[in-house]
Amino acid sequence: MSILSRLFGPRTPPPPPPVQITYKKKGTIVIHATIVVRDEDGREMIQPANQKPLPKLCGCGKSEIPPFCDGSHKTAGRG
Question: In sequence order, what DSSP letters do the residues of 10-78 get, joined into one string?
Answer: PPPPPPPPPPEEEE-TTSEEEEES---EE-TTSPEEPPPGGG-SS-EEESSS--SSTTB--SGGGTTT-
Q: Is residue 63 part of a domain?
A: yes
Of the pLDDT bands very low, low, confident and very high (cuts 50, 70, 90), residue 76 is low
Q: Is residue 51 part of a domain?
A: yes
Q: Is the pTM of this model over 0.75?
A: no
Of the pLDDT bands very low, low, confident and very high (cuts 50, 70, 90), residue 21 is very high
Q: Is residue 40 part of a domain?
A: yes
The residue range of the domain holding 66 is 18-74
What average pLDDT does the segment 23-52 reach?
Answer: 88
58 pLDDT higher than 90: yes
What average pLDDT does the segment 61-67 reach?
Answer: 92
Q: Is residue 37 part of a domain?
A: yes
- Rounded Cα distance between 49 and 2, Å, is 47
Q: How many domains is the chain built from? A: 1
